[in-house]
Structure 1
Amino acid sequence: MNIHILRSKAEIDRAVADLFIEQVKANPNSVLGLATGSTPLGVYALLAKDHKENHTDYHNVTTVNLDEYIGLPDGHPESYKEFMKRNLFNHINVDFNRVHIPSIQGTYEESCKAYNDLLNQFVPDIQLLGIGANGHIGFNEPGTKADSKTHTVLLAEKTRLDNARFFNHIDEVPTHAITMGIQNILDAKRIVLIATGASKADAIYKMITGEITESLPASFLQKHSNVDIFLDKEAAKLLLKK
């Protein structure tokens, strides 16, 4: 793992955005693995700004998202499909036929198989990740197997509470989601993880220095040969004490 400890979230966003811009410029047919939540917002704002000012071309890029809630009505503003449109896709020249977000079409089993088949065809050149305070990546909660592929999941109460800030009430937060599995994430050619704030410090410390364990899904990233971890000092504070 390559550990980058920067002074601020703004510096992290700039560094990560530059990685994605460089990837797209080097390979206009890149496959970008994307994430949602508050973590990537600054990165997406910079990608949109760069496209407007420098015309970085996304027309031939393919995108695959990590996850999506189950049970929200089509067009719900907190669905990850709408999140991605609002924060990135509507601001760059992406071809929406090349945009892929997991969804439930038919049975759960059929939906997971369809997304796995897609990921076999479009392996991310670079995959963006955040990390939950309990060590989840995507919606792979503690207990997820290393060889897991796209699956549906009952969200941990901690995860729902963390995400409740995006809804009017905790009762509105979905209880289930569909997510890439650990193996899907590890298949990416390069992984970039962002973590900021003291609430992530324990998970980051265990992810980097602890054993590889299902109880901390992010620890499986130790198995990958090309991982960049971008941290602010608060998220890195336990590492800095070593």
Structure 2
Amino acid sequence: MDIIKAKDAQELGKKAAELTANYLNDAINKKGQARLLLATGKSQLTTLQELLKQKVEWKHVEVFHLDEYIGLTREHAASFQKYIAERFVDKLELKKAHYISGDEDAEKTIKNLTNEIRTSPVDVALVGIGENSHIAFNDPPADFQTKEAFIRVKLDEVAREQQVKEGWFSSINDVPTEAITMTVYQIMQSEKIISCVPYKSKAKAVKRTLESDLTNEIPATILKRHNNWSLFLDEDSSSLL
């Protein structure tokens, strides 16, 4: 585990993007292609903005994302498909982008994505940490046992409230109660995991993650078991350490 501290979210994003690009370029040099897993949300914005500036042969990169609300169309302002497309995919010429669809048959979506994700490893996974210490939408108590790649989950109230506070929904009643998420197991199969966790709102989750033993009540604690995990913090998110 590497902990990299930055002054603020902008500096954090730049440092994380540079490291991400290095790993992508290394994979492309070795294999002729790379696979990138993207997180969404306010905390990931500066990293994605800076990653767009990096010199990467994007035509050799496939992109996946971590999760999506069930019942939300791609056109909805809070859709993670929309987030990924508008902020990243549509600005590049990628090899391919694999979207989690929230408004189609969930079981069919899970089956198709599982087939895609397991054709070869993810080289770099950008995985944030939620205010309730979730990774993707694996809310506590997260399922640490399943070997599935994607599952259907119920969202807890803290995760739903976070979406309202970040401005994606006007009230908690508007936030869907279910989602499709990549599992903890599948996230941990990634060759490299980079967690970008800025802002004061994440300080308690960061402290709990780093100072607690492995527990599915604090899902992010499992990241400490990965042999190539880098955690990027700013002055606010690291303020309780």
Q: What TM-score comes out, normalization by structure 2 length?
A: 0.89
Q: Equivalent residue for 1:18?
A: 18
1:66-89 CA distance string (max 9 Å, x none):
011110124223211111111111
Q: Equivalent residue for 2:63?
A: 63
Q: Equivalent residue for 1:102?
A: 100
Q: Equivalent residue for 1:32?
A: 36
* SS of corresponding position for 1:49: coil
* SS of corresponding position for 2:46: helix
Cα distance in 1, alignment partners of residues 52 and 100 from structure 2:
23
User: Which 10-residue stretch deviates more, 29-38 or 103-112?
Assistant: 103-112
Q: How many residues align?
A: 233
Cα distance in 2, alignment partners of residues 196 and 113 from structure 1:
34
Q: Equivalent residue for 2:156?
A: 156
* SS of corresponding position for 2:180: strand
Q: Equivalent residue for 1:175?
A: 177
* SS of corresponding position for 1:179: strand
* SS of corresponding position for 1:63: strand
Q: Equivalent residue for 1:219?
A: 221
Q: Equivalent residue for 1:89?
A: 89
Q: Equivalent residue for 2:203?
A: 201
Unaligned runs of 5+ in 2: none
Q: What TM-score comes out, normalization by structure 1 length?
A: 0.89
Residue 141 of structure 1: which of 139, 142, 146 is its match? Answer: 139
Query: How far did residue 115 of structure 1 move?
Result: 2.1
Distance 1:75 1:105, change over 3 A: closer
* SS of corresponding position for 1:112: helix
Q: Equivalent residue for 2:48?
A: 44
Q: Equivalent residue for 2:72?
A: 72
1:8 partnered with 2:12: no
Cα distance in 2, alignment partners of residues 13 and 104 from structure 1:
28
Cα pair 1:67 1:101 within 8 Å, conserved: no
Query: How far did residue 105 of structure 1 move?
Result: 7.9
Distance 1:198 1:112, change over 3 A: same
1:115 partnered with 2:125: no
Cα distance in 2, alignment partners of residues 183 and 24 from structure 1:
22
Query: How far did residue 104 of structure 1 move?
Result: 5.2
Cα distance in 1, alignment partners of residues 204 and 73 from structure 2:
35
Cα distance in 2, alignment partners of residues 94 and 73 from structure 1:
23
User: Which 10-residue stretch deviates more, 26-35 or 211-220?
Assistant: 26-35
1:185-225 CA distance string (max 9 Å, x none):
10001100111223222221221221100101101112111
Cα distance in 2, alignment partners of residues 74 and 226 from structure 1:
33
Q: Which amino acid aligns with 2:161?
A: L
User: Which 10-residue stretch deviates more, 25-34 or 58-67?
Assistant: 25-34
Cα distance in 2, alignment partners of residues 223 and 147 from structure 1:
15
Cα distance in 1, alignment partners of residues 225 and 187 from structure 2:
11
Unaligned runs of 5+ in 1: none
Q: Which amino acid aligns with 1:175?
A: T
Q: Equivalent residue for 1:166?
A: 168
* SS of corresponding position for 1:192: strand
Query: How far did residue 116 of structure 1 move?
Result: 2.2
Q: Which amino acid aligns with 1:19?
A: L
Cα distance in 1, alignment partners of residues 37 and 48 from structure 2:
13
1:124-168 CA distance string (max 9 Å, x none):
111001111111010000011213331111111111111121123
Of all paired residues, the percent bearing the same amino acid is 29
Cα distance in 2, alignment partners of residues 13 and 175 from structure 1:
30
Q: Which amino acid aligns with 1:32?
A: L
* SS of corresponding position for 2:52: helix
User: Which 10-residue stretch deviates more, 20-29 or 135-144?
Assistant: 20-29
Q: Which amino acid aligns with 1:108?
A: A
Query: How far did residue 109 of structure 1 move?
Result: 3.5
Cα pair 1:204 1:235 within 8 Å, conserved: yes
